[in-house]
Amino acid sequence: MRATTIHGPFDIRLSDVPDPEVLRPTDALVRVQAACVCGSDLWPYRGINEVRPGTRIGHEFVGIVEQVGAEVTTLAPGQFVIAPFSYSDGTCVHCRAGMPSSCEHGGFYGARDEHGLLVDGGQGEWVRVPLADGTLVATPQLPGDDLLADLLALSDVMATGWHCARAARVGPSDTVAVVGDGAVGLCAVLAARLQGATTIIAMSRHEPRQTIATEFGATQIVAERGAAGVAAVRELTDGVGVTAALECVGTNESMTTAFDLARPGGRVGFVGVPHGVQSPVETMFRKNVALAGGMAPARAYLPALRDRVLAGEIHPGRVFDLTVPLVDVPEAYAAMHERRAIKTMVLP
């Protein structure tokens, strides 16, 4: 089959790799219907994270179950499934506590599982999904093509945006500011609205992203960044700042902004993969601002988010503004790196 591999900075290729097979009785073989590039895929792409040349990449996909191992009980060939960005057994102490991204037997696509067997990356034609019962979330029927983007967005960005708002305990009386206008930041706007916030300030300088933020429920847009952005948000919040700041980037600058935005007694939710971020413990002490978040337990949120998509209630797939065939996967990365695209869908 063909699958995406990374060979070094800015070197993404579509490669011929061995066809995956069911290797464990708990595996499912999924034929990918749509995949996408994640903001976190850009870290190795930009050479910030080192990679072994030829590493498989991609962790967001939806597809059709083609084959299941003998111990898989909840899935059958022909079903449409959403894959969360990590696999998990659904039965260990962490999974049962709602933290499947910390599963004792789980792991990540494009790497070896606990048995030393390669798990395919998501940006390819097929994926061997370990621990299929605990991992994959099926739809009751085959969804129409019009739902593909919305369901694909659940595999990571929407679940992650949801987690950010949830970690910041967003509720009806909150004023929320979202730092970051990537796909996750935009989904955090949508999540904040679904979780009841009435004032949602999206920080974005880019018109197409501002448009989606507004569609997703942002009540105000602040285009300024840094100190000017903080001043603008203060002005919109009677000079005091927000009760919940959602950090969706992962840089020290965005974390600093989030803490500057939070009013005393407020909360900062964070889901950006941290790169060089220092937690400002002194500010947390002085202002009584709580920090919570981390890698989203996507699998735990998927059934409810799936139902909202199937009911036509949310359209997180709006974040996709470029679709390329798998053969053009290098362009999928370049477009996101150069900010020509918010998020790219890749169709095998």
Task: Give the per-residue contact string, 243-282, with Zn ion (x = CB under 5 A; - = no).
Answer: ----------------------------------------
Total residues at the site for Zn ion (CB under 5 A)? 5
Residue 192's CB: how many other CB atoms inside 10 A? 34
Q: Would you say 342 and 171 are in contact if contact means Cβ atoms under 8 Å apart? A: no
Judged by beta carbon, residue 68 or residue 103, the one nearer Zn ion is: 103
Candidate ranges 48-56, 88-96, 210-218, 254-262; the one touching Zn ion (CB under 5 A):
88-96
**What is the nearest approach in angstroms of Zn ion to the Cβ of residue 20?**
22
92 contacts Zn ion (rule: CB under 5 A): yes
Binds Zn ion (CB under 5 A): choice among 88, 135, 243, 257: 88
Candidate ranges 23-31, 40-48, 94-102, 286-294; the one touching Zn ion (CB under 5 A):
94-102
Candidate ranges 13-21, 89-97, 181-189, 197-205; the one touching Zn ion (CB under 5 A):
89-97
89 contacts Zn ion (rule: CB under 5 A): yes
HSE of 114, CA atoms in CB hemisphere, 13 A:
11
Greatest CA separation for the chain: 61
Binds Zn ion (CB under 5 A): choice among 29, 30, 95, 289: 95
Order of strands, edge to edge, in the sheet holding 11-16? 11-16, 2-8, 55-56
Q: Would you say 199 and 219 are in contact if contact means Cβ atoms under 8 Å apart? A: yes
**What is the nearest approach in angstroms of Zn ion to the Cβ of residue 91?**
6
**What is the nearest approach in angstroms of Zn ion to the Cβ of residue 100?**
6
> Which residue's entry shows tokens 């605990």?
134
**What is the nearest approach in angstroms of Zn ion to the Cβ of residue 88?**
5
Burial of 103 (0-12, 13-18, 19+ CB in 10 A): buried
Give, as one character, the DSSP assignment of residue 101.
G
Give, as one character, the DSSP assignment of residue 291.
E
Judged by beta carbon, residue 97 or residue 228, the one nearer Zn ion is: 97
Candidate ranges 45-53, 80-88, 245-253, 277-285; the one touching Zn ion (CB under 5 A):
80-88
**What is the nearest approach in angstroms of Zn ion to the Cβ of residue 114?**
11
- The DSSP code sequence of 134-195 is HH-EE-SSPPPGGGHHHHHHTTTHHHHHHHHHHHTT--TT-EEEEE--SHHHHHHHHHHHHT
Judged by beta carbon, residue 88 or residue 254, the one nearer Zn ion is: 88
Rounded Cα distance between 151 and 81, Å, is: 9
Q: Show the DSSP H helices in the chain as ranges.
A: 42-45, 93-96, 132-135, 148-153, 157-167, 183-194, 207-216, 226-236, 252-261, 281-287, 298-310, 329-337
- Report the residue number whose CB is nearest to Zn ion: 103
113 contacts Zn ion (rule: CB under 5 A): no
One-letter amino acid identity for 227?
A: A
Candidate ranges 83-91, 159-167, 175-183, 294-302; the one touching Zn ion (CB under 5 A):
83-91
Rg for the chain (alpha carbons), in Å?
20
One-letter amino acid identity for 23?
A: L
Candidate ranges 17-25, 37-45, 90-98, 304-312; the one touching Zn ion (CB under 5 A):
90-98
150 contacts Zn ion (rule: CB under 5 A): no
192 contacts Zn ion (rule: CB under 5 A): no
103 contacts Zn ion (rule: CB under 5 A): yes
**What is the nearest approach in angstroms of Zn ion to the Cβ of residue 107?**
10
Candidate ranges 87-95, 107-115, 153-161, 207-215; the one touching Zn ion (CB under 5 A):
87-95
Judged by beta carbon, residue 75 or residue 92, the one nearer Zn ion is: 92
Which stretches of the chain bind Zn ion, using CB under 5 A?
88-89, 92, 95, 103
